[in-house]
Amino acid sequence: MKRIIFRSYLLFSGAGLLFCFFMIGTHPTNVSFYAPAGLIMACTILLFCVIQGIRKVRTEGVQGLRRFWHSMRLRLTLWYVALLALILVTFSSIIYTTESVNLSTTLDSYLRTRLTQVAVTYDAQKHQIPLTDVQVSIQGSDAKMAPTESTKGEADQPIRKLIRNDEFVVLMNPEGQILQSSIVFTSQDIKALTAVALPDVSVRGDWKNSTWITLGSPPLTLHVRNAELSLSTLKNQFYETSQALIVDNQQHVSAILLVGTPSTIEAELHSLLLILEITTPLVLLLSSLGGYWLADRAMKPVQVITRTAQQIGETDLHRRLKLRQRGELGELADTFDHMLQRLEEAFDRQRQFTADASHELRTPLSIIDLEATRALQHDMSPEQYQRTMTVILQENRHMSHLVNDLLLLARADTGQSRFQQEQLDLSDVLCDTIERLAPLAEQTGIAIQILSLPELSIHGDYLYLQQLCTNIIENALKYSAGIGDNVTITVTRQRYAEQDWAVLRITDNGPGIAAEHLLHLFERFYRVDQSRTHNQKQTVSGNGLGLSIAQLIVQAHGGAIQVHSVVGQGSTFEIRLPV
Answer yes or no: are the C-beta atoms of 248 and 124 closer than 8 Å.
Answer: yes
Q: How many CA atoms lie within 13 A of 387 on its CB side?
A: 5
Res. 534: pLDDT tops 70:
no
Is the pLDDT at 480 greater than 90, yes or no?
Answer: no
Cα(95)–Cα(99) distance, integer angstroms: 6
**Percent of the chain residues past pLDDT 90, beyond the cut:** 13
Highest mean pLDDT among 124-133, 358-367, 395-404, 463-472: 463-472
Higher pLDDT, 380 or 559: 559
Q: What distance in Å separates the CA atoms of residue 187 and residue 98, rounded to the nearest whole number?
A: 37
Q: State the average pLDDT over residues 292-313.
A: 80
Q: Determine the CATH number of domain 328-412.
A: 1.10.287.130
Candidates 268, 289, 279; CA nearest to 33 is 279
pLDDT score recorded for residue 228:
47
Q: Judge whether 267 and 275 are in contact, CB under 8 Å.
A: no
CB 508 within 8 A of CB 501: no
Q: How many other CB atoms are found less than 10 A from the CB of residue 75? A: 12
The CA distance from 140 to 135, in Å, is 15
What residues does each domain of the chain span?
2-99+269-309, 112-267, 328-412, 419-578
Confidence of residue 57 (pLDDT cuts 50, 70, 90): low
pLDDT of residue 223: 61
Task: Determine which of 59-63, 106-110, 130-134, 292-296 has the lowest per-residue pLDDT on average.
Answer: 130-134
Q: What is the pLDDT of residue 246?
A: 77
Confidence of residue 554 (pLDDT cuts 50, 70, 90): very high
Q: What is the pLDDT of residues 408-446, one digit of tens each?
A: 877 777 777 777 889 999 999 999 999 989 988 988 899
pTM flag (> 0.85)? no
* CATH of span 419-578: 3.30.565.10
Query: What is the overall mean pLDDT for the chain?
Result: 76
549 neighbors 560 (Cβ within 8 angstroms): no
So what's the pLDDT on residue 144? 35
Kindly tell me if the per-residue pLDDT of 571 is higher than 90. Answer: yes
pLDDT of residue 492: 93
Q: What is the pLDDT of residue 533?
A: 45
Most confident of 245-249, 481-485, 486-490: 486-490
- Highest mean pLDDT out of 169-178, 289-298, 324-333, 501-510: 501-510
Q: How far apart are CA 392 and CA 398, in angstroms?
A: 10
- What pLDDT was estimated at residue 155? 34
- Nearest Cα neighbor of 532 from 502, 504, 496, 568 is 568
pLDDT tens, residue by residue, 44-54: 666 666 666 67
Average pLDDT over residues 98-120: 83
Asked if residue 217 has pLDDT above 70, the reply is no
525: region left, alpha or beta (phi > 0 left; psi from -120 to 50 alpha): left
Top pLDDT among 210 and 356 is at 356
- Reported as a single tens digit per residue, the pLDDT across 147-203 is 333 333 333 345 555 566 778 888 888 887 888 888 777 777 777 777 777 765 655
Confidence of residue 75 (pLDDT cuts 50, 70, 90): confident
What share of the chain has pLDDT > 70, as a percent? Answer: 72
Largest CA distance in the chain: 160
Question: What is the tens place of the pLDDT at every residue in 340-353?
Answer: 888 888 888 778 77
| Residue 311 confidence class, pLDDT cut points 50, 70, 90 | confident
Section 27-44 average pLDDT? 60
The Cα angle at residue 465 between residues 457 and 481, in degrees rounded to 5: 120
pLDDT surpasses 80 at 79:
yes
What's the confidence (pLDDT) of residue 82?
87
> 440-461: per-residue pLDDT in tens?
898 889 999 998 888 889 999 9
pLDDT of residue 447: 92
Average of pLDDT values for 231-243?
A: 70
Residue 88 has pLDDT above 60, yes or no: yes
